[in-house]
Chains A and B, each alone.
Chain A
Amino acid sequence: MDTKRTGKRNTAPTEHSGAPRAVDHGTTAAFFLASFLLWEVIVRIFHVPRYIIAPPSAVMTQMAARFTDIYKHTLATSLETFVGFGIAVLVGVPLAMATAFSRFLRQTFYPLAVTLEMVPKIAFAPIFVIWLGFGFGSKMVVVLLVCFFPILINGVFGFTSLPTELQYLSRSTGAGAIRAFVKIRLPYALPQLFVGFKGAAVNATIGATIAEWIGGNAGLGYFISMSTGLFRMDIAIAAIIVLTALGLLLYGIVLWVETKMIPWHVSQRARINATGSA
């Protein structure tokens, strides 16, 4: 981003980057372990039927026993999720840029997009199944849709909220639109763009899962709905855990890229200068 930042990285964010999240990992791990243990014990003591809830031990057993199935479905869901998210970024960011720059788009496309944002995107899923079939395409498009809107809307917001004085500064240098964009408007918008990416990352696996329920023949969502149909809670919960891990992976990647791209942003540094800068 910053052409000047070629040498050593600024030390402050590096030193402190872990600080806001500086939790005692031991305590967290112990708590999780204890919760699973409690779950196991309750299910056993009260003889909860296996079709109501399965204990963690049974879930683990199925995770291993049904590994090939879970692996296959995970691959399908991952593909839908990552491709849908990726295309949403590739389409959403340039469209947000265009919308921010073009008065015409702001008056036509943008209100339409905001209206569509209000529609539960999942409602389109059956239509996509008819258009694109039961396979990869219809699921990927649902993921694309649920990711696209947070990216577009946060992008437009980011690109249009440059403080007046920074605009004055760049105008007083006579900088053309492109140079002003690259040097000021884009880096200024990055934190807001990442708000959109994170929102999209949260939506992505939800979109994939529900799209698979509605009409699919593969994927973890499909696998969960099949398993619950057979009252196999152990398998369903195993699939849910993998799905959660998938969601966390995507979100984690976005967070990682964020710390690399905007280490200077308030959200990324522990030490906030009390005097603040404009």
Chain B
Amino acid sequence: MCDSITLYGVKKVYDSRNGPVHAIGPADLSIRKGEFVSFLGPSGCGKSTLVLMVAGLLPPTEGEIRIDGVVVNEPRTDVGIVFQTPVLVDWRSVLGNVLLQVELRGLDPAQYRAHAVELLESVGLGEFLKQRPYELSGGMQQRTAFCRALLHDPPIVLMDEPLGALDAMTRTRLRDDLEKLWLGSPKSVLFVTHDISEAVQLSDRVVVITPRPGRVEREITVDLPHPRDFDVRQSPEFLGYVKDISDIFMQYGVI
């Protein structure tokens, strides 16, 4: 079995005050073990909804999601989630926020301390362990959130536009950090973004989603060597992928 996550006709319709909202689906898709897959789509096409359903935090209206062949019908504890915002708590230090991941699991934080420090150092936060979230920049907060999502070494990582709220310079840096983290320990990654070049840089496969209700428009396998550094990003192949995907959104009038 090499599929990690499989979606069978997954659909979500929200009941809102103004009647039902068809957010996404039906979608069929699978993500292999160790594969980095980006979900690329315009705002409101149901990307966050999908992430929550995969994590078992929100039930699908129709269809079924399986992880390692097991139907997801309760919150999965073997995933690491990075949200669109950092979601850190102000009463804990940077290190304390990362350790919250294992403390909530009832594990002994002392045993994970070294690993947490190591993760934070790898994203350049070694000198900020004792700081509080409100003493950090937005990018540093989001890097803390990455470390929290990885501390328990989950085989699956779900990232919902983790770089969405950051400025262009920080995004580029964190993108490289992310690629490095992933190359260091390959995991199955579901990465949500609406940035085309970000998706192409990071992914083995880009899943292009249509405007709401989101459907899988196309799946594009990105066949470029890692790390996709500055030079690779200037290559005609890289730019070709970016153009192909841009054309799709152009057709939908999104860009």
With an 8 A cutoff between CB atoms, is B90 at the interface?
Answer: yes
Min Cβ gap A264→B in Å is: 4
Chain A 173-210, CB within 8 Å of chain B: the 1/0 string? Answer: 11100011001100110000000000000000000000
Footprint of B on A, CB under 8 Å?
Answer: 1-5, 7-8, 10, 12, 163, 165-166, 168-175, 179-180, 183-184, 187-188, 262, 264-266, 269, 271-273, 275-278
Using CB atoms, name the residue of chain A closest to B83.
A165
Q: Are A4 and B96 in contact (CB under 8 A)?
A: yes
Residues of B within 8 Å of A2, CB to CB, are 91-92, 96
Known contacts A174-B75, A275-B138, A277-B141; A168/B91 CB under 8 A: no
B82-111 vs A, CB cutoff 8 Å, 1 = contact: the mask equals 010111111111011001110111100100
Closest-by-CB residue of A relative to B88 is: A277
B residues within 8 Å of A by Cβ? 52, 55-57, 75-77, 79, 81, 83, 85-93, 95-96, 99-101, 103-106, 109, 130-138, 141
Best-surrounded residue of A170, A175, A188 (most CB of chain B within 10 A)? A175
A-chain residues with CB within 8 Å of residue B85 when the two chains form the complex? 165, 277-278
9 smallest CB-CB distances across A and B, nearest first, come from: A278-B85, A4-B96, A173-B104, A275-B138, A175-B104, A273-B134, A174-B77, A277-B133, A264-B90
Chain B residues contacting A278 (CB-CB under 8 Å) are 83, 85-88
Complex formed: what's the CA distance from A227 to B253 in Å?
81
Report Cα–Cα, A275/B141, bound state, in Å. Answer: 10
Q: Which of B103, B131, B141 contacts A183 (CB 8 A)?
A: B103
Q: What would be 17 A-B contacts, judged by CB atoms less than 8 Å apart?
A: A4-B93, A4-B109, A10-B130, A165-B83, A172-B55, A172-B81, A175-B105, A180-B104, A187-B89, A188-B89, A262-B91, A264-B90, A271-B135, A272-B134, A273-B134, A278-B86, A278-B87
Q: Is the interface of B mostly helix, strand, loop or mixed?
A: loop
Within the complex, which residue of A180, A264, A269, A276 is in contact with B91, where a contact is CB–CB below 8 Å?
A264
Asked if A4 and B77 sit within 8 Å, CB to CB, the answer is no
- Taking CB atoms, residues of chain A closer than 8 Å to B141 are 275, 277
- Docked-complex contact A4 and B57, CB < 8 angstroms: no
Report chain A residues within 8 Å CB of B56: 172
Contacts of A272 in B (CB 8 A): 134
